[in-house]
Amino acid sequence: MVKIDQVDLGAFPLLLAPMEDVSDPPFRALCKEQGCDMMYTEFISVEGLIRDATKSVQKLDIYDYERPIGIQIFGAELDSMMRAAEIVEEAQPEVLDINFGCPVKKVVSKMAGAGILQDLDKMVKLTDAVVKSTSLPVTVKTRLGWDENTKYIEEVAERLQDVGIKALSIHGRTRKQMYKGEADWTLIGKIKENPRVHIPIFGNGDINSPQKAVEYKNRYGVDGIMIGRASIGYPWIFREIKHYMATGEILPPPSIDERVDAAKRHLEFSLQWKGPKLGVVEMRRHYTNYFRGFRDIKPIRSKLVTEYDPATIFDILEYIRDKYSQNELAQI
């Protein structure tokens, strides 16, 4: 069984990656229903938290049905990280996760996220301070390195373990790669072979099918897999992987009713949690995957991603149900 400290995640957990404007409560609810073993919040600015910024504080919202769950923070200042750790503890997640992997320029330019990969001593110092500031188990998500010449992830794994982290999630790309090219899991596998490393190691990057999940599990020996982009608008990826691991069978894709019902519930919760404007806008990135592979869907999807009126969007979703339920040949 895989454990993060005392948090039991089962034999081979599937984790939902923390994704800004994606892994919010509305989406997490759907992923949990489909078998996700552990989820993380969107990453939260420690500066926003300690200043009581509304957007940052709202991201602390977690629900009992989501557990176990990790709250992820990012920052670059020692005092801010320590104070934010105390605030996170009050929200009572199972885990506090530190983001040392976000490649976005506005984060990196402040030496936060993947920016810290340019200063490993500071990374270790910040992590040590957070571990000592909370009773929660602390985990880290990071990348292989800053660029091709600085893939120090094996050293990072040992040093962060030594200061007390309880698990490490590794995205198989450098910061310079952003999300381009193919994720390289070779070094992730080497960390699992290192006899000094005893904490769970979770692999992340390019897992987009049950077959690939099992292939990478077997090839690299990771303790679990973290899924990011492949889950956007497709929470069924978790149940499909679990079914394939258990039976060797590929599940049929979700029906049109399942897709429409999920999209509607997702939108309803999004409107409730984020309000009528953000609730509509931040749903748009999900529609492509909800209805991927349907013939002649492009003009309909264009309406979904440009419409602002929730009632009209619900009507469009019902139109999709009617159109494709009546004509199964329209589905690829």
pLDDT at 103 over 90: no
pLDDT at 308 over 80: yes
What whole-number distance in Å separates Cα of residue 214 and Cα of residue 220? 10
Asked if 188 and 130 sit in the same domain, the reply is yes
Residues 6+ apart with CB under 8 A from 25: 61, 62, 63, 66, 269, 273
Cβ atoms of 196 and 158 closer than 8 Å: yes
pLDDT recorded at residue 332: 46
Give me the domain span that covers residue 279: 256-330
pLDDT recorded at residue 55: 85
102: annotated active-site residue:
yes
What whole-number distance in Å separates Cα of residue 101 and Cα of residue 141? 6
Q: Which tens digits make up the pLDDT trace of 132-170?
A: 999 999 999 999 999 999 999 999 999 999 999 999 999
Asked if 44 and 186 sit in the same domain, the reply is yes
pLDDT at 330 over 60: no
Asked if 221 and 277 sit in the same domain, the reply is no
Asked if 226 and 276 sit in the same domain, the reply is no
Q: 193 falls in which pLDDT band (50, 70, 90)? A: very high
- What average pLDDT does the structure give for the chain? 93
| DSSP-derived 3-state class of residue 40 | strand
ω before 68 within 30° of 0 (cis)?
yes
Asked if 25 and 102 sit in the same domain, the reply is yes
Asked if 237 and 298 sit in the same domain, the reply is no
Last residue of a domain, one of 221, 247, 273: 247
Asked if 230 and 272 sit in the same domain, the reply is no
Render 68-109 in DSSP notation, one character per residue: SEEEEEE-S-HHHHHHHHHHHHHH--SEEEEEE----HHHHT
Q: Which tens digits make up the pLDDT trace of 170-191?
A: 999 999 988 888 889 999 999 9
pLDDT recorded at residue 312: 97
pLDDT recorded at residue 313: 97
Cβ atoms of 100 and 142 closer than 8 Å: yes
Q: Which tens digits make up the pLDDT trace of 50-71?
A: 998 888 998 999 999 999 999 9
**Which residue among the candidates 102, 138, 156, 320 is catalytic per the annotation?**
102
Asked if 94 and 192 sit in the same domain, the reply is yes
pLDDT recorded at residue 328: 52
Asked if 207 and 285 sit in the same domain, the reply is no
Asked if 64 and 125 sit in the same domain, the reply is yes
Last residue of a domain, one of 212, 247, 282: 247
pLDDT at 322 over 60: yes
pLDDT recorded at residue 35: 96
Asked if 168 and 303 sit in the same domain, the reply is no
Q: Which tens digits make up the pLDDT trace of 272-293?
A: 999 999 999 999 999 989 998 8
What whole-number distance in Å separates Cα of residue 25 and Cα of residue 303? 25
Say which CATH number the domain at 261 has.
Answer: 1.10.1200
Last residue of a domain, one of 210, 230, 247: 247
Residues 6+ apart with CB under 8 A from 291: 259, 263, 297, 300, 301, 320
Q: Number of folded domains in the chain?
A: 2
Say which CATH number the domain at 225 has.
Answer: 3.20.20.70
pLDDT at 240 over 80: yes
Asked if 229 and 298 sit in the same domain, the reply is no
pLDDT at 326 over 50: yes
Q: Which tens digits make up the pLDDT trace of 216-238?
A: 999 999 999 999 999 999 999 99
Cβ atoms of 14 and 36 closer than 8 Å: yes
Residue 198 phi/psi, 5° resolution?
Answer: -125, -5
pLDDT recorded at residue 54: 86
Residues 6+ apart with CB under 8 A from 58: none
Mean pLDDT across 18-25: 91
